Structure 1
Amino acid sequence: MANIKDIAELTGFSKSTISRYLNNGSVSDKTKKKIKEAIDELGYVPNSYARNLKKTKTNIIGVIIPNFIGYTKNTALNAINIYLKETDYSMLLSCSNDDMDEEVRIIEEMAGLNVEGIILFASNITQKHKEITKTLTIPLVIFGQKLEGFTSILANDYEAGRLMADYIKTLSHKEISYFDVGKYDQAVGDRFLGLSDGIKDRNIKINHHHFDFTKKTAYEKAKEILDKEKSSFYIGATDNIAFGIIEALREKEIRIPDDISVAGFGNYEISSIINPALTTVAFPYEKLGKLAIEDLLKQIEGEKGLKKAPLSPRLIVRKSTL
């Protein structure tokens, strides 16, 4: 049976353009003619369930996440879920598995199912994201990244890096290693930018590495790097990365923090109870989640989305550093 993707491939138009045509949206007469010809040729029959949704208010909020890894989104999602329990709205959650094309497809699909609005937990904003968001007729809130024209809910990652830098400058380290995530995540990347700017007035060498969010990768890479670098302070761009570094140090019987200090960013639930307790920077994830859903619901009710300043983090010094 033919679907919207088949029509898009035959006509050369985007799926969002096909969707607008099917739902009586604004498309040119020339475009209408070409789409109708493709529908007739393919024998396309619209999904009656999705079309019926277009006629009614669904009270469904779409929430899109890139993956299920990490404390950040779980805390924010929980805050969103708790908030929605006091309203008439419910959540439709979908995961892109870090596939940006899939993420764009999900945005389009959710809009087609007539969700009232979308919260996108974004790790990256591609050109395709920018193109699809221009076609949306429902409110969209971006969590974790910036996108011009939409409400962006952010923590101040740059300030978090500066806090870590100010702390390191009170110590005696001359070489540090930083385990970052992929370059695609601009917000998390701002943590390193704040750190490097904060210590550039000191004679401290930084070994900057890009990997991913996983503890496993951090563990494996740390075992390799420990034999090549002379760093006495290791920093994970997230606490999860720091946990992998700690595991590698323990395996090599390197004492923390006597031989090497370790710090992270995030202040996960277990960060205070591992041994030694992890020095980290805490972000207000719960408050960020609440701000995201509050803003989205206001937009759904016809109010304008507000430009919000990034929320400030705080440094927590524990036993993993000296």
Structure 2
Amino acid sequence: MVTINDIAKEAGVAKSTVSRYLNNGSVSPKTKKKIDEIVQKRGYQPNAFARSLKAQKTKMIGVIIPRLNSSSTNEVLEGIDEMSRKLGYKLIITNSDQNNEREYENIQTLTKQKVEGVIMFAREITPEHVDLVKNSGTPFLFIGQKVDGINSIIHQDYQAGAKIGKFSLELGHEHFLYIGVPETDKAVGIERRQGFLDVVKARKGTIVETIESDFSRTAAYQKALTFLKDLEATYIVCATDNIAVAVLKAATELGYNVPEDFSLSGFGGYETTAYTSPTITTVSYPYRKMGIKAVEKLVALINQEEILEVIEMSNELVINQSTKNKKKV
């Protein structure tokens, strides 16, 4: 009796490729034609019972998160969990620990587990990510980053940066320090920063310095202990609230008074910004709502409904105690 392994061996492709072909998954036209010819020549008949089992709905959704110690990720997960339960889906959550190789493995593992769809918290999107997702035969949804041909939900990060830029200029500041993160994260590392820079640099006479940190609060704190000693800027903008909290801690230890000596703001709207002294001005993101929307959109994809490829989530400027008006009254 001819098996899938026999077909795969003769076609020179992986068994998983033949499986996708048999289940109407994503296979290139050239490979499909080759397998068609072999199936007809060998008279292969798929096991109807096995295929019926495969076709059964598992009511499982896979979720790939970038790291475990993330406030924003946890809030999005709360929304995902809430809507999944409401719609009768169970979750399989995997952690990549900000490692691309682990993300590749998690994509493959979840699709083998026959989940009906996958939600992935996207950081750095490589060609390998795109190939794996598009060839998986499984509905996928990216959170936080967008890629042509893959459904996604993103934040309006450029607009968020522009909001902080406009606000800081309205307060009368002219000398700024922006603490960013690597550009491998396009949304936070590029778009958020560029929104701020475009607004502030459009004003004549402004000075903008930039420093790169990472998402680690510890790393940002250690770096702040150094650059704060020679600070000339009157307004520090941090790419995330975690970085802003770290800068505030370092500033306090070095004897600075925020916002008397310099104003400080972040992005995210994390709960911790309301429990610092002073409280930190930030841009609040609707993380829980994003999680709810993500499940709604993924289930629509699972049901083969037509939906927008990209959905953008708005944000809100939250003015707290860490920023001060420098204009003369």
TM-score (norm 2): 0.82
Q: What is the identity, as a one-letter code, of the residue corresponding to 1:63?
A: V
Query: Could you tell me how far apart the structure 2 residues matched to 1:23 and 1:136 are?
Result: 8
Match in the other structure for 2:102:
102
Query: Could you tell me how far apart the structure 2 residues matched to 1:20 and 1:69 are?
Result: 36
Count of residue correspondences: 292
Q: Which residue, out of 286, 295, 298, partners 1:296?
A: 298
Query: Could you tell me how far apart the structure 1 residues matched to 2:177 and 2:201 are?
Result: 15
Query: Could you tell me how far apart the structure 2 residues matched to 1:295 and 1:55 are?
Result: 21
Change in CA separation of 1:104 and 1:53 when aligned onto 2, cut-off 3 Å = farther
Moved more, 60-69 or 229-238: 229-238
Change in CA separation of 1:166 and 1:144 when aligned onto 2, cut-off 3 Å = same
Check the 8 A contact 1:70/1:240 in 2, yes or no. no
Match in the other structure for 1:318:
320
Q: Which residue, out of 4, 17, 20, partners 2:17?
A: 20
Query: Could you tell me how far apart the structure 2 residues matched to 1:112 and 1:79 are?
Result: 25
Check the 8 A contact 1:54/1:113 in 2, yes or no. no
Q: CA deviation at 1:55?
A: 5.6
Change in CA separation of 1:31 and 1:281 when aligned onto 2, cut-off 3 Å = same
Check the 8 A contact 2:182/2:212 in 1, yes or no. yes
Match in the other structure for 1:192:
193
Check the 8 A contact 2:149/2:309 in 1, yes or no. no
Q: Which residue, out of 224, 246, 269, partners 1:244?
A: 246
Query: Could you tell me how far apart the structure 2 residues matched to 1:144 and 1:264 are?
Result: 18
Q: What is the identity, as a one-letter code, of the residue corresponding to 2:248?
A: I
Query: Could you tell me how far apart the structure 1 residues matched to 2:16 and 2:227 are?
Result: 50
User: The residue matched to 2:79 in structure 1 has which SS?
Assistant: helix
Check the 8 A contact 2:111/2:138 in 1, yes or no. yes
Identity %: 33
Correspondences of 1:111-122 after superposition (within 5 Å): 111-122=111-122
Q: CA deviation at 1:159?
A: 0.3
Match in the other structure for 2:258:
256
Query: Could you tell me how far apart the structure 2 residues matched to 1:159 and 1:135 are?
Result: 33
Q: Which has the larger radius of gyration?
A: 2
TM-score (norm 1): 0.84
User: The residue matched to 1:159 in structure 2 has which SS?
Assistant: helix
Check the 8 A contact 1:150/1:305 in 2, yes or no. no
Query: Could you tell me how far apart the structure 2 residues matched to 1:52 and 1:270 are?
Result: 50
Q: CA deviation at 1:53?
A: 7.3
Query: Could you tell me how far apart the structure 2 residues matched to 1:234 and 1:251 are?
Result: 17
Query: Could you tell me how far apart the structure 2 residues matched to 1:69 and 1:242 are?
Result: 17
Q: CA deviation at 1:172?
A: 2.9
Structure 1, unaligned stretches of length 5 or more?
A: 1-11, 33-50
Match in the other structure for 2:165:
165
Match in the other structure for 2:123:
123
Query: Could you tell me how far apart the structure 1 residues matched to 2:235 and 2:15 are?
Result: 54
Correspondences of 1:1-322 after superposition (within 5 Å): 17-21=14-18, 25=22, 27=31, 54=54, 56-188=56-188, 189-202=190-203, 203-322=205-324
Q: What is the identity, as a one-letter code, of the residue corresponding to 1:267?
A: G
Check the 8 A contact 1:144/1:154 in 2, yes or no. yes
User: The residue matched to 1:153 in structure 2 has which SS?
Assistant: strand
Q: CA deviation at 1:52?
A: 11
Query: Could you tell me how far apart the structure 2 residues matched to 1:53 and 1:103 are?
Result: 28
Query: Could you tell me how far apart the structure 1 residues matched to 2:125 and 2:84 are?
Result: 26
Change in CA separation of 1:138 and 1:305 when aligned onto 2, cut-off 3 Å = farther
Runs of 4+ in 1 over 3 A off after TM superposition: 21-32, 51-56
User: The residue matched to 1:221 in structure 2 has which SS?
Assistant: helix
Post-superposition CA distance 1:112-145 (Å, at most 9, x none):
1110000010011101011112212121111000
Check the 8 A contact 1:176/1:233 in 2, yes or no. yes
Check the 8 A contact 1:183/1:210 in 2, yes or no. no
Change in CA separation of 1:30 and 1:300 when aligned onto 2, cut-off 3 Å = closer
Q: CA deviation at 1:23?
A: 6.4
Check the 8 A contact 2:20/2:137 in 1, yes or no. no
Q: CA deviation at 1:73?
A: 1.4
Query: Could you tell me how far apart the structure 2 residues matched to 1:106 and 1:286 are?
Result: 23
Change in CA separation of 1:175 and 1:85 when aligned onto 2, cut-off 3 Å = same
Q: What is the identity, as a one-letter code, of the residue corresponding to 2:246?
A: G
Change in CA separation of 1:241 and 1:52 when aligned onto 2, cut-off 3 Å = farther
Query: Could you tell me how far apart the structure 2 residues matched to 1:171 and 1:99 are?
Result: 40
Q: What is the identity, as a one-letter code, of the residue corresponding to 1:144?
A: G
Check the 8 A contact 2:236/2:264 in 1, yes or no. yes
Query: Could you tell me how far apart the structure 2 residues matched to 1:157 and 1:112 are?
Result: 34
